[in-house]
Amino acid sequence: MLTGESVPVIKNSLKPTEDFFDLENEEASKKITLFSGTKVIQARNTGGQSCTALVVRTGFVTTKGSLVRDILYPKPVNFKFYRESVYFVFAMALVALSGFAISFNKLKEDYTNTKDLIKRSLDLITIAVPPALPATMSVGVSFAIRRLRLVNIFCISPPRVNISGMLQIMVFDKTGTLTEDGLEVKGVVGCLGAKGDNGDPKFAMFTESIGQLLPQQLKDLSKYLLYNSVKLNEAMACCHSLTYVNGLLVGDPLDIEMFNSTNWLLDESRSLNGSVRPRDQNIAYELEICRRFDFESKLQRMCSIVKNTSDN
């Protein structure tokens, strides 16, 4: 709700070996932080150990609190209309003062009554500088807020009314409006690692049957393309942020589709991060996910450390 996540997100515990962690680093700390207002739908531990959490922010200092604070106490709007209206009043005041000085000397020659002299001179200031300008603007905004309230639109920041009144086109965008909410893996193009004549990496042929390649085929290591494809299949099966919630596989839609295309199974019963194995029960081959390093948007990569349970 607060982080903009549309799917459940896995949070990792802080490792005992990490005796220091920079909580001010939002990119790193959000992976171990539960935000106020977040609904925890599942929790797991190993060995029956209890979990200890540290409260680092409360009240308006939290992410949810700062959001509420921005709504209740919005920042002042640097609206060009108000700024220029102040300049206008200031300029007219200078003109009025100049006219007042000139007319005062002129009227002084014609009038001997001091009261009439001051009254006639001040008339110029009241005409040049409209004293009702701020009141008129406030009344106009008040009427606008009242009309909005009649259609159940409430405004707690009156200066925003003038800004919204200047809008002519409002565009909304939502993922899924023009695109489908599903993905489908057509195939994989593996990288051979070797460099070509122009220095670019060489790529294997496009293959759609990536999920049919099994570890038992690794015995024939002479087939380099086959070996590379099987290793890629293992990486796709292990490197993701998926978990089971109420028997359903949840996580990023790209991860779900990628994992399903491998034709492997995810087992979370024996380890904290789970293990994966081919769907074919006749193949005694299993990879345990020892540690998961979540996707880093800056590095554009993710990695997992896995262990082959047959030979450790």
By the 8 A CB rule, do 67 and 59 touch?
no
- Locate 238 and state its tokens: 């292990």
Of 28, 3, 6, 9, nearest to 240 by C-alpha is: 9
- Locate 81 and state its tokens: 């209309």
Instruction: Find tokens 């040049």 and name the residue.
Output: 128
Helix, coil or strand: residue 137: helix
Q: C-alpha distances in angstroms, 18 versus 21, 29, 114?
A: 7, 13, 85
Q: Which amino acid is at 88?
A: F
By annotation, the residues acting in catalysis are 173
Spatial separation of the C-alpha atoms in residues 63 and 123, rounded to whole Å: 56
End-to-end Cα, the chain, rounded Å: 41
Helix, coil or strand: residue 256: helix
| Burial status of residue 197 (CB atoms within 10 A of its CB: 0-12, 13-18, 19 or more) | exposed
What DSSP designation does 207 have? B
